A and B are shown apart, each in its own frame.
Chain A
């Protein structure tokens, strides 16, 4: 029996995305940029997809840019946002727990978070008010620990300071209402059940943004069509999905804390994503834990250093000051059942106990 608990990395393809993708492969393989009449159908598909996605995100059609993936969308937001404001300054202010795609897009000034992973708004305010700030970034919710950030408050602080705010909404798009007050926003279709290979960048009207690309690449039309159709579908059921999954996440948080000794359940207990939960097990090797769970049929993720190619612990766990070894992130999706969660909770204490016994650290 195999259970997929890594939807925050890539959600299973939504049935609507599969249908739309197949239909668009038949209908949308032409280059929509060509002028002959056969290309008209492809242009119509692209326009319809753009309109649908803009409506789902609550933005205007001409504010949407499609790109290769979420990483590219984040890089375009940061680099284009900085380039557009070069006249005003060069400083990039961001929270310490932004996705690595954002941190790697440009060097910046990091604003600390508390133990729950929530950004320090006083420090954020001071940072954006300093002279020479070109752009600020605050993610909608953290991809590793699920903490929802106070984006509306941050947006108000940015507005007071006259600094545009970029919001990485990769983990929130498709899960309901997006925050407001931002200038730039990015998302990734395969996090909401769309196909891989579609990044979405929104640049609000009036935002100073310079496209850093020499030329914008033509969109992958069938994938864009599938991304738009699946976003609409998941938005329609977002409230019900969140209402079903949030109690499962809460069950994991309370049960793990009660049944696994020496465990630290991390992230904000209240203001959090409905589908993602993270904990760290003292004295346990994260990689060994990941493989042991894999043998039991569970696909999970880890922020422990031994599972990273860099051999560094997750910068998110580091910024929060929480235990980084023995770390497990599980992220649920629309097909996750209560039984799967219960089976995980039944298996986990034994798996952790066995790893501790093997390492000779039981009762330490």
Chain B
């Protein structure tokens, strides 16, 4: 698998990382993985919750990044 796209949201406070994720993910092809770099502690809760609400796949946390796969 190729390296995931990186979305750097470090320094952004919630809900901004989730908003940036919602903007960027639809620009990627279905099946692609986006790695969101975020240091706001709320991102660890809100990114998986967003995936659940939007029917996207939360792949997991990877270092300071959260991997999301576009399903729809």
Contacts and interface: CB of A to CB of B under 8 A. Distances in A.
Contact of B22 (A285, A312, A323, A364): A364
Contact of A321 (B15, B23, B49): B49
Contact of B23 (A318, A325, A364): A364
Contact of A305 (B14, B19, B22, B48): B14
A322 B19 contact: no
A4 interface: no
A262 B14 contact: no
Contacts of B15: 282-285, 325-326
B45 A313 contact: yes
B48 A282 contact: no
A69 to B, nearest CB: 28
Interface in A289-333: 304-306, 311-313, 317-318, 321-326
What interface size band does chain A fall in?
20 to 34
B23 A323 contact: no
Nearest to B44: A318
Interface in B31-53: 40-42, 44-46, 48-50, 53
Name B's interface SS: helix
Greatest chain A CB density within 10 A among B15, B49, B53 is at: B15
B13 interface: yes
A286 to B, nearest CB: 8
B45 A306 contact: no
Nearest to A284: B15
Contacts of A306: 13-14
Interface residues of B, number: 17
A53 B36 CA distance: 54
B68 interface: no
Contacts of B23: 364
Contact of B19 (A283, A312, A321, A324): A283
Contact of B45 (A282, A324, A326, A359): A324
Nearest to B52: A321
Contacts, number: 61
A6 interface: no
A262 B53 CA distance: 8
Contacts of B40: 305
Given A306-B13, A359-B19, A361-B19, A324 B42 contact: yes
A291 to B, nearest CB: 15
Given A361-B19, A364-B22, A364-B23, A324 B14 contact: yes
Given A283-B15, A285-B15, A306-B13, A323 B41 contact: no
Given A283-B19, A364-B22, A264 B14 contact: no
Contacts of A325: 14-15, 18, 42, 46
A311 B46 CA distance: 14
B19 A318 contact: no
Contacts of B13: 305-306, 311
23 contacts: A264-B49, A282-B50, A283-B15, A285-B15, A304-B14, A304-B42, A305-B13, A305-B40, A305-B41, A306-B13, A311-B41, A312-B42, A313-B14, A313-B42, A313-B46, A321-B45, A323-B46, A323-B49, A323-B53, A359-B19, A361-B19, A361-B22, A364-B23
Given A283-B18, A312-B42, A321-B48, 8 more contacts: A264-B49, A282-B15, A282-B53, A284-B15, A304-B42, A311-B41, A313-B14, A361-B19
